[in-house]
Amino acid sequence: MKRQMHFLFFLLLAILPVTAQDARIKIACIGNSITEGAVASDRVNKGYVGQLSQMMGKGYDVRNFGVSGATGCRNTYKPYDKCDKFEEAKAFLPNVVTIALGTNDSQPRVWNTGDFASHFESDLDSLCNVFESLPSKPRIYLCLPIPIMPNTNWEHQPKVLKEEIIPLIRKVAEKRGYGIIDLYSQLSGCEDCYPDTDKLHPNDFGHEKIAEYIYSVLVKEQ
């Protein structure tokens, strides 16, 4: 009898950590190089996903599924739905999903080429459908991308992002009843949030501001 009790005791000890880990709320951060942590001094810890993970605490499992160069539009040079991270994000079975795509779609080779612009809304809709249909039934948020500073050295088009892409993201979010995380407003006019040599990707301070705002939105609705 004692042996059985000892066995059950050690079995319980072995199970408890797994149970505690499984009980965590899983957050999947979908996006491009900004989500991936580009330009941060430490992509893992100083990128906004890493900082968000620290803010959320031990009750949450925050994972980074950002892909450098990824677009929301399908059939481009690098559509997010054809990336390995997309498959990994689905397998993660998240409880919460934040989608931050659209910046790379503003490039002339995407937005000003073929029918990509006219398909952005439906392509984003399709991506949302996939996550919405997961067995974990996640709460989904669409992020309005951070501003592209006018003096950027990149080919991305600030006006296209602000006046064409962001309204479409809002439209999809409102149509589907999703929360909107307005990162555009948070970093608008904040030159200090970007490196002097970039103006497209945030620096550590910019990543911190993004993490703080996403944290405030998610915590408010938990």
**What is the per-residue DSSP string for the chain?**
-HHHHHHHHHHHHHHHHHHHHHTSEEEEEEESHHHHTTTSSSHHHHSHHHHHHHHH-TTEEEEEEE-TT-BSSTTSSSBGGGSHHHHHHHHH--SEEEEE--TGGGSHHHHTSTTHHHHHHHHHHHHHHHHHTSTT--EEEEEEPPPPPTT-SSS--HHHIIIIIHHHHHHHHHHHT-EEEEHHHHHTT-GGGS-TTTSSS--HHHHHHHHHHHHHHHHHT-
Summarize pLDDT for 135-184 with one digit per residue, the tens. 999 999 999 999 999 888 999 999 999 999 999 999 999 999 999 999 99
User: Would you tell me how many other CB atoms lie within 10 Å of the CB of residue 51?
Assistant: 23
Query: In the predicted model, is pLDDT for residue 220 greater than 90?
Result: no
> What's this model's pTM, rounded to 2 decimal places?
0.89
Asked if the model's pLDDT at residue 195 lies above 80, the reply is yes
Question: Structure tokens of 205?
Answer: 């301070």
- 105, 70 contact by CB (below 8 A): no
Residues shown for the chain: 222
Q: Which residue has the higher pLDDT, 130 or 10?
A: 130
Give the chain's mean pLDDT: 92
Q: What is the pLDDT of residue 30?
A: 98
Q: Could you give the CA distance from residue 41 to residue 115 in angstroms, rounded to a whole number?
A: 37
pLDDT at 58: 96
Looking at the predicted structure, is the pLDDT value of residue 13 above 80? Answer: no
Whether pLDDT at 14 is above 90: no
Mean pLDDT of 105-122: 97
CA distance 118 to 168: 10
The residues facing 62 across adjacent strands are 27
